[in-house]
Chain A
């Protein structure tokens, strides 16, 4: 069964460093998402991506964040200068539907980011 894969599973970084989290969405899906979950808290929307551009972003997704789909398969989340409060589990998701009607999202297993 097709699945969303994320790498790395766990990354430890120093505050101020840049981090890139990678995702390979399901191949025939058109909509891609990043969510994050701080330990023990709710899953928060960061950004959605369609047709090679950001479709929607939350207040969390400020200038230190960026997303890219560099080669038609990978979908990356870059955090430019990490802060302690960026420590969280970051989930990538993809969906064949989106826009005005969001269907089932298929999530990866997540990348745990620890900022020291």
Chain B
């Protein structure tokens, strides 16, 4: 798989449920970030986790990072219809000077 692959590709849940998205990557990284994109809009930064961190929280967001498995997960708790968007992980590879984005998870939260 390519650097920064998310799964599932699409996720549909009911409002109030939790949503979990996963990201896998292949190379060593400095940090991993998650971004959100509403349809037809720009990307908005959600959270950054450094390679020496294992878990980070921001409001209803919880991100974990397992560098031994080269994977990360994004948990959105108590989802809302307004959380409907595409979510992308992005890795800052140690050998590169830019972010590499994954293919994204399309989250639909049904009211």
Residues of B within 8 A of A (CB): 30-31, 33, 35, 40-45, 48, 88, 90, 92, 94, 96-104
A43 touches B97 (CB 8 A): no
Chain A residues with a Cβ under 8 A of chain B = 4, 33, 35, 41-45, 48, 55-56, 89, 91, 93, 98-110
Complex Cα–Cα for A89 and B37 (A): 13
A48, B98: Cβ atoms closer than 8 Å: yes
Chain A neighbourhood of B104, CB < 8 A:
42
Kindly list chain B residues whose C-beta atoms are within 8 Å of the C-beta of A99: 97
Q: Known contacts A104-B33, A105-B45, A106-B45; is A42 also within 8 Å of B97 by CB?
A: no
Show 11 A/B contacts (Cβ-Cβ < 8 Å), sorted by A: A41-B103, A42-B101, A44-B101, A45-B98, A56-B96, A56-B98, A91-B42, A91-B43, A93-B43, A102-B30, A102-B92
Contact: B101 with A48, CB < 8 Å?
A: no
- Contacting residues, chain B, for A48 (C-beta < 8 A): 97-98
State in angstroms the CA–CA spacing of A45 and B92 once bound together.
12
Write out the residue numbers on chain B whose beta carbons fall within 8 Å of the beta carbon of A41: 103
Chain B nearest CB: distance from A55 CB in Å?
Answer: 6
Chain B residues with Cβ under 8 A from A100's Cβ? 30, 94, 97
Residues of B within 8 A of A42 (CB): 88, 101-104
Check B92 against A101 for contact (C-beta < 8 Å). Answer: yes
The reply to whether A102 and B97 contact each other, CB–CB distance below 8 Å, is: yes
Not counting A4-B42, A56-B97, A107-B44, a sample of 11 additional A-B residue pairs whose C-beta atoms are within 8 angstroms of each other reads A42-B102, A43-B43, A89-B40, A91-B42, A101-B31, A102-B97, A102-B98, A103-B48, A104-B45, A105-B43, A109-B41
How close is B41's CB to chain A, nearest CB, in angstroms? 6
**A70–B36 alpha-carbon span in the complex (Å):** 31
A99: nearest residue on chain B (CB-CB)?
A: B97
Q: Which residues of B contact A56 (CB under 8 A)?
A: 96-98
